[in-house]
């Protein structure tokens, strides 16, 4: 047979098989008579191609699926993090990581890889995504996301599976948009993509940063990674922004966009969550941090060792700043929220000196 069923998704031998009526009918659970493809514009900056597939059946009620295609050689996230396998697809094919789906609901129905191109067929989660608005989540929504992240981290705490070679390393995650890694390492095609914007943003940010905060970000990433290398490691989602999760009926959280999936201290996911979701947080950052810690310790069934949490929190600040501070410098237009966001990160960076 030309495809086989894994724990959560069908693995096809070729990309074209993902749009075959036979496979689509199998995924939908009823025979497929035809399929209609529609371009899909969705939030995201990785360069992946998305389309909605309407699978038509004899009963007149179509099944809606989403097809995601990624050219690894043309994808800046894959390029800058050394992703030669397509981590999102590799996750689906790795039995040692099946426990991810004991925490999160899986939206994946099928996947395939041909050479450097990866394709993923997913359930259409449009009705379950959190609204793409510049407004805070509710406490209940935020608790759902934080609980799922904390549970993922607890399940894989110091797990042997963290040795899997294709997982992103702390150095790769910290360096994806860090000032140190961008000059001389950005291709012509990236000048208007996120890395190009980051290069411009860092020039502006450093012109505004006080020396104590700037010194933390000028420190070699290898040295920063070494400083925190003795902290407990776990499995990282890597891109814990609100738009990469959906709250399903019953409250279970579905997760997708695992291109930065890695192994490292949980403070890295926490720092990215704080930085990328600044306008979506239901609580002040200090309260988010405290709530995450409470949920993590509950999920693990024990408190963290003395001093470990303080260093995880410090790493969260370093991670969030390396990955996104370039986008947070105020434009001088009197926006109080933007200014407050900038000051929060600057003050905490300076305190790390």
Question: Over 70: is that where the pLDDT of 189 sits?
Answer: no
Query: What pLDDT does 26 receive?
Result: 92
Q: What is the pTM of this model?
A: 0.94
Is residue 314 a contact partner of residue 352, using CB atoms and an 8 Å limit? Answer: yes
Average pLDDT over residues 7-30: 92
Q: d(Cα 285, Cα 272) in Å, to the nearest integer?
A: 12
Question: Tell me: the pLDDT tens digits for 243-253?
Answer: 999 999 999 99
Question: Over 80: is that where the pLDDT of 23 sits?
Answer: yes
Q: What percent of the chain shows pLDDT beyond 70?
A: 93
Query: What pLDDT does 188 receive?
Result: 47
Query: What pLDDT does 111 receive?
Result: 96
SS3 32: coil
Q: Model confidence at 331, in pLDDT bands (50, 70, 90)?
A: confident
Instruction: Considering only CA atoms, give the Rg of the chain.
Output: 21
CA of residue 275 relative to chain centroid, distance: 12
From 35-44, 98-107, 108-117, 321-330, the region with the lowest mean pLDDT: 35-44
CA of residue 68 relative to chain centroid, distance: 16
Question: Over 60: is that where the pLDDT of 43 sits?
Answer: no
Average pLDDT over residues 196-225: 96
**Full set of structural domains in the chain with CATH:** 3-124 (3.30.200), 131-352 (3.90.1200)
Interior CA angle at 264 toward 258 and 270, to 5°? 70
SS3 299: helix
Question: Over 90: is that where the pLDDT of 128 sits?
Answer: yes
Q: Model confidence at 8, in pLDDT bands (50, 70, 90)?
A: confident
Q: d(Cα 220, Cα 284) in Å, to the nearest integer?
A: 30
Q: Model confidence at 190, in pLDDT bands (50, 70, 90)?
A: very low
User: What is the b/e burial string over 92-123, where b = at least 16 CB atoms within 10 angstroms of the residue's CB?
Assistant: bebeebeebbebbbbbbbbbbbeeebbbbbbb
Ramachandran region, residue 332 (left: φ > 0; alpha: ψ -120 to 50; beta: rest): left
Q: What percent of the chain shows pLDDT beyond 90?
A: 85
Q: In this structure, what token pair is assigned to residue 46?
A: 């990785």
Query: What pLDDT does 353 receive?
Result: 75
Average pLDDT over residues 312-341: 92
Question: Over 70: is that where the pLDDT of 7 sits?
Answer: no
């Amino acid at each position: 047979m030309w495809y086989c069923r894994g724990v959560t998704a069908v693995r096809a031998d070729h990309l074209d098989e993902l749009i075959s009526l036979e496979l689509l009918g199998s995924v939908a659970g009823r025979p497929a008579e035809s399929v209609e493809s529609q371009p899909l514009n969705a939030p995201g900056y990785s360069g992946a191609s998305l389309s909605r597939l309407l699978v038509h059946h004899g009963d007149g009620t179509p099944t809606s699926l989403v097809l995601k295609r990624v050219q690894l050689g043309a994808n800046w996230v894959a390029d800058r993090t050394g992703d030669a396998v397509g981590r999102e697809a590799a996750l689906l094919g790795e039995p040692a990581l099946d426990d991810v789906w004991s925490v999160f609901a899986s939206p994946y129905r099928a996947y395939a890889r041909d050479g450097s191109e990866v394709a993923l067929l997913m359930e259409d989660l449009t009705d379950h995504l959190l609204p793409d608005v510049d407004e805070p989540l509710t406490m209940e929504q935020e608790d759902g996301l934080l609980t799922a992240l904390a549970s993922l981290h607890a399940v894989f705490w110091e797990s042997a599976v963290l040795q899997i070679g294709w997982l992103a390393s702390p150095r790769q995650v910290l360096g994806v948009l860090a000032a140190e890694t961008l000059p001389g390492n950005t291709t012509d095609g990236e000048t208007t993509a996120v890395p190009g914007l980051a290069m411009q943003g860092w020039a502006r940010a450093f012109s505004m940063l006080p020396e104590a905060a700037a010194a933390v970000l000028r420190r070699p990433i290898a040295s920063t990674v070494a400083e925190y290398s003795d902290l407990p490691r776990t499995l990282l989602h890597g891109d814990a922004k609100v738009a990469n999760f959906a709250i399903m009926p019953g409250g279970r959280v579905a997760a997708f966009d695992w291109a930065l999936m890695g192994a490292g201290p949980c403070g890295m996911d926490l720092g990215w969550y704080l930085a990328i979701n600044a306008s979506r947080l239901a609580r002040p950052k200090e309260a988010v941090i405290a709530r995450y810690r409470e949920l993590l310790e509950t999920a693990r069934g024990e408190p963290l060792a003395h001093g470990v949490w303080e260093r995880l929190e410090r790493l969260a600040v370093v991670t969030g700043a390396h990955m996104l501070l370039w986008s947070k410098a105020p434009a001088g237009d009197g926006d109080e929220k933007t200014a407050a966001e900038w000051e929060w990160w600057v003050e905490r960076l300076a305190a790390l000196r």
